[in-house]
Chain A
Amino acid sequence: MSRTDDPVALDEWYVVGRPEDLSIGRPVATRLLGAELTLGLAGGAVTAVETETGRALPVTLAYGHVWTTLGTPTRGLPPIAEFDETDRRLATCGAVHVRASGLRLVENFLDMAHFPFVHTDILGVEDRPTVEPYDCEIRRDVDEVWATNCRFWQPQAAANAAGGQMSDYLYRVARPFTVLLYKTCPSDPARQDVIGLLIQPTDEDRSIAYAFVLVVDAVSSTTEIIHFQQTIFLQDRIILENQRPRLLPLSPRAETPTRADLSSIAYRRWLKEKGLRFGIDRREAA
């Protein structure tokens, strides 16, 4: 497919790689919203070019990743205040390719109900499957979707968890393809680890997922932190690749939500309000 003409999708910033992956000395070809991109280094600066047209695209380095846009975003990257806290460690987990709409990836990230069954004995246990009631709202002042007061019992909440804990979660969908999770830090219950899922929607039904972890963890090696996240995400990948349709339906009638899906309902409503088309199953458009 060629570049989308969906202005809502075009006018956003997207992660297209990590700076260290461009240090190999040759251009890197990738895709964004159906368009071919060429990434490179010029004078130490990262460059991004739309391959077909030769148009130079704006590039921003932030949160351990390379961001660009094919359109004219009305706002910058989502602010993440925890990046200013100097005692935190950042681990970027690389890129995982998934044959699914990026919106499906965000929605899966928001879903706590799958923890005991997909991340068995890590993020959940099968005999404690209940998602307790939580709150969810579209925050109009910042134009983000927030799910708050989420609680889930987790046998191994993070790489450095010594045992089970009741994790407090806060989800923040900052952009249609960018979602953040704040969760109880096992080594300091007063603080929260930040986990980001940054999606590069290559095509409507294909995505590259980048994850970062910004943690207060003096114990685990960076490799252990990365492997923990890779394990979790590869467990998700099997589920994501088998969801049908691969695109995200927005109609409430398309899939049957339950009380635990409050955040998914809010996310879909928010996308519908935005008029986003890219990555959405438009067959049932009403």
Chain B
Amino acid sequence: MADRPVLFDYELSANAYAVRLMAGLIGIAHDRRPVDVYPGRETEGADFRALNPRGTVPVWVEDGEVLTSVAAILWHMARGAPAWQGGDRAAETIEWLAFAERDLAAADAARLDAMLGLASPVVDPVAAARRAFRILDDRLARQGIDGAGFLVGAEPTVADVAAFPAVALAIDFGEALEAYPKLRAWTRRMRALPGFVTTPGVPDHL
């Protein structure tokens, strides 16, 4: 029998939370290896760079394969659950999965700046995060007209899982989402899913 997959994890990382959430929703047993990202800067060390030259968490290691992109990890985790890959709308699912990894990174930069004083790689991350939230809110509004409650269809996909942490943790940088009613309704739909797991920072009202 193959070894259980290993998640190199950091409790405060939004992307690491996306992986924990996916594991909860699909039910994937794995081992956790906590990484001292802050204050220990373990991701800057030679040992960690040997595993992931990009120096980021999460990292998913399974059967000798090392995945460091949250999009790749979630897609891989959902390989036995086609509905989570969007079924026949896989390309559209990847579109929103990529959006989450690329555009919502600003929200995590804003969080880490507000919480830990870590310098943001994005200029004005709060404004960039709000632009991304506006795009998501508009998308969910249009989906609602079609009777669909999630980013790609009527059922959640890996794209929703990838996007959820940045939105749900926005309060960490003082963004209470008042201006994004569809996003707030969507977070409640996400919370109601069987196997949902939370993380420190997600407010109870979302």
Contact = CB atoms under 8 A, between A and B. Distances in A.
Interface residues of B, number: 20
B80 interface: no
Interface string B1-44: 00000000011100000000000000000000011101110100
Overall SS of chain B's interface: loop
Interface in A226-260: 226-227, 230-232, 234-235, 237-238, 241
B114 interface: yes
A272 to B, nearest CB: 31
B34 A224 contact: yes
Contacts, number: 58
A226 B40 contact: yes
Given A230-B12, A234-B12, A93 B34 contact: no
B103 to A, nearest CB: 24
A104 interface: no
A95 interface: yes
Contacts of A20: 39
Contacts of B114: 97
B192 interface: no
Contacts of B115: 96-97, 234, 237
Given A223-B42, A224-B34, A241-B174, A95 B12 contact: no
Interface string A188-209: 0000000000000000000010
A18 B39 CA distance: 10
Given A95-B116, A223-B34, A224-B34, A234 B40 contact: no
A94 interface: yes
Interface size class of A (residues with CB under 8 A): 20 to 34
A21 B12 CA distance: 19
B38 to A, nearest CB: 5
B39 A234 contact: no
B11 A230 contact: yes
A208 B118 CA distance: 13
B117 interface: yes
Interface string B162-203: 000000000110100000000000000000000000001101
Contacts of B117: 95, 97, 208
A95 B201 contact: no
Contacts of A18: 39
Contacts of A95: 39, 116-117
A190 B51 CA distance: 42
A237 B11 CA distance: 15
Interface in A1-53: 18, 20-21
Contacts of A208: 117
A172 interface: no
A93 B36 CA distance: 10
Interface of B: 10-12, 34-36, 38-40, 42, 114-117, 171-172, 174, 200-201, 203
25 contacts: A21-B39, A93-B39, A94-B38, A95-B39, A95-B116, A95-B117, A97-B114, A97-B116, A222-B36, A223-B34, A223-B35, A226-B39, A226-B40, A227-B34, A227-B36, A230-B200, A231-B11, A234-B12, A234-B172, A234-B200, A234-B201, A235-B200, A237-B201, A238-B172, A238-B201
Interface of A: 18, 20-21, 92-97, 99, 208, 221-224, 226-227, 230-232, 234-235, 237-238, 241
Which are the 9 A-B pairs with shortest beta-carbon distances? A94-B39, A234-B200, A223-B36, A223-B34, A235-B200, A231-B200, A227-B11, A227-B34, A234-B201
